[in-house]
């Protein structure tokens, strides 16, 4: 399969800078607020992951789940998004975002948008996610809502 995506902005992907409130003790950043988020996107769980320098997670996509990522550091990430939703106004668009320590960002990724991120810094990188669906459902009794596109043969979803 050849690269069929064009550069652009993906419909319904939200990228918002996060403010770090800095004082003599360090900093504090709000990650989400129920008064700023659509009810349907309200997180039902949260997790944090560490990714080593030069390493990527994804590409993945979800059928029903919206991801709510926060990149606040340590380290910086290159985030790759591909709109594979045939009914989307931005179907076929690829978007890249740089986020993390030097650009704290909140990123909402809707279902059907294939996504991956790579740690492009020199230290272990932390990513926070607060999705609107439970991983593996109530009591972890359901299939995981995740389509993985990590095989090298998936040339549409290359991480450069
Ligand atoms: C995502 C998740 C994983 N796990 C477990 C399963 C496994 O043992 C371990 C690592 O999980 P994964 O291999 O699925 O982790 P990872 O490959 O980092 O999966 C994540 O990738 C990024 C790009 C996303 O988009 C996320 O939505 C999620 O798909 O953590 C949970 O217990 N709860 C969770 O919410």
Instruction: Give the tens place of pLDDT for each residue, 136-145.
Output: 999 999 999 9
Average pLDDT across the chain, whole number? 96
pLDDT grade for 3, boundaries at 50, 70 and 90: low
For 23-40, the DSSP string reads ETTEEE-----GGGS-GG
Residues with CB under 6 A from ligand 1: 47, 49, 57-58, 60, 67, 115-116, 129, 135, 146
Interface predicted TM-score (ipTM) over 0.90: yes
- What are the domain boundaries of the chain? 6-136
Per-residue pLDDT reduced to its tens digit, 59-116: 999 999 999 999 999 999 999 999 999 999 999 999 999 999 999 999 999 999 999 9
Question: Domain spanning 6-136: which CATH class is it, in words?
Answer: mainly beta
Return the residue whose CA atom lies nearest to atom 10 of ligand 1: 49
Question: What strands lie across the sheet with 147-148, from one edge to the other?
Answer: 6-7, 93-100, 76-83, 113-119, 56-61, 147-148
| Residue having the nearest C-alpha atom to atom 13 of ligand 1 | 57
pTM: 0.96
Q: What percentage of the chain has pLDDT greater than the value 90?
A: 93
Has residue 1 got a pLDDT over 60?
A: no
């Amino acid at each position: 399969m050849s690269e069929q995506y064009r550069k652009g902005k993906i419909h319904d992907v939200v990228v918002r800078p996060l403010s770090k409130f800095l004082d003599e003790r360090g900093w504090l950043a709000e990650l989400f607020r129920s008064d700023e988020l659509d009810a349907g996107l309200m997180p039902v769980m949260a997790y944090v992951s560490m990714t080593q320098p030069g390493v990527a997670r994804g590409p993945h996509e979800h059928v029903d789940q919206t991801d709510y990522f926060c990149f606040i550091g340590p380290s910086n990430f290159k985030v790759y998004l591909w709109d594979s939703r045939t009914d989307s106004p931005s179907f076929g668009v690829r978007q890249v975002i740089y986020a993390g320590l030097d650009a704290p960002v909140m990123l909402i990724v809707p279902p059907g948008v294939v996504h991956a991120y790579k740690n492009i810094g020199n230290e272990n990188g932390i990513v926070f996610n607060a999705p609107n669906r439970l991983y593996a459902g109530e009591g972890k009794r359901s299939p995981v809502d995740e389509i993985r596109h990590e095989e090298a043969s998936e040339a549409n979803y290359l991480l450069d």
